Structure 1
């Protein structure tokens, strides 16, 4: 499927769409469909699900508009559907105060499930930046991710890149804390 036909971004705007992307299994299904279309059977094999479960989750994603059928073919009298993402990327709304960040929650679950003997680069850095530096760093990180996304080859193994640049909530001083 040519990715030139895909919209750049799908904006999650409804509760149904947010529920669809909030589920870790559906998040992993969308990761399978990131680079190439796949059938229910192929999705089930790659995610490690039963075909029935895979079909259920794909139907929810399709109903929410996040994936779509991009081609069909007849195989021994049965119509086989190939599903693909509805856009190159998905943009989630910012979580409300006190609400979990779905993207980061799923990323942490994927990181925890990744092979511990494989190469991983995980780092957290605390910085002090001006508003201009903060904005510039965010733009540079996004540009770097976009650059490597264009270099992605569906024949190579998956790699996940997650970054979060944010200003943490002000730390409340606890009695006895030294400043």
Structure 2
């Protein structure tokens, strides 16, 4: 058996989605879930298919699209009985999506909601929406604190533990007056 490894230790911290091809690749729920699976450990097409309950051909199709978009990459190959197994991993530790344009859906939030809806209903969840009134300085400080907290816990992540997803969105909604005017 021949093994070729590419280190995942030197992965860039952030992959910035900049092209339409990358955005299309990441916006598909199946591909989003494949990327979530590859966050902490590399996997082969067969392993991805088994873990996600997909046909091997479907798994292969989605991984090829992600690889072509640069979102995942081969980090290890093994020659097993004349067949080359490829192990795929994320191309970076995190992915940053562009801000959606006016009237465009927010891919990240839609994917997060889909993941939340697909999570076990009997599992522990912490979901909350709060409406706040903040100064510009408070808004900026809260955003920085949320980001720092997420970074702190990401540094504590242990690949041997079960996945936990965290998403937060701190934004100023469209003023009520503008919503009412747009509805007219």
- TM-score range for the pair, normalised by the shorter chain length: over 0.9
Give the aligned partner of residue 93 of structure 2: 88
1:63 shift after superposition: 0.2
Post-superposition Cα deviations, 1:19-44, rounded to whole Å, max 9, x if no partner, equal 00000000000000101111011111
Counterparts of 1:118 and 1:111, CA distance in 2:
11
Counterparts of 1:176 and 1:62, CA distance in 2:
44
Distance 1:5 1:173, change over 3 A: closer
1:64 shift after superposition: 0.3
Counterparts of 2:166 and 2:125, CA distance in 1:
11
1:176 shift after superposition: 14
The structure 1 segments of at least 4 consecutive aligned residues displaced by more than 4 Å after TM superposition are 173-179
1:177 shift after superposition: 15
> Residues 7 and 75 of structure 2 are in contact (CA less than 8 Å); yes or no, is this contact kept in structure 1?
no
Post-superposition Cα deviations, 1:135-160, rounded to whole Å, max 9, x if no partner, equal 11011101111111111111111100
Unaligned residue ranges in structure 1 (runs of 5+): none
Counterparts of 1:145 and 1:175, CA distance in 2:
36
Counterparts of 2:56 and 2:112, CA distance in 1:
24
Number of residue-to-residue matches in the alignment: 179
Give the TM-score, by structure 2 length: 0.92
Distance 1:67 1:167, change over 3 A: same
Distance 1:165 1:86, change over 3 A: same
Q: Residue 87 of structure 2 aligns to a residue in which SS?
A: strand
Give the TM-score, by structure 1 length: 0.94
Counterparts of 1:111 and 1:162, CA distance in 2:
10
Distance 1:72 1:129, change over 3 A: same
Post-superposition Cα deviations, 1:72-131, rounded to whole Å, max 9, x if no partner, equal 001121100000100001000000011110000000000001111010000000000111
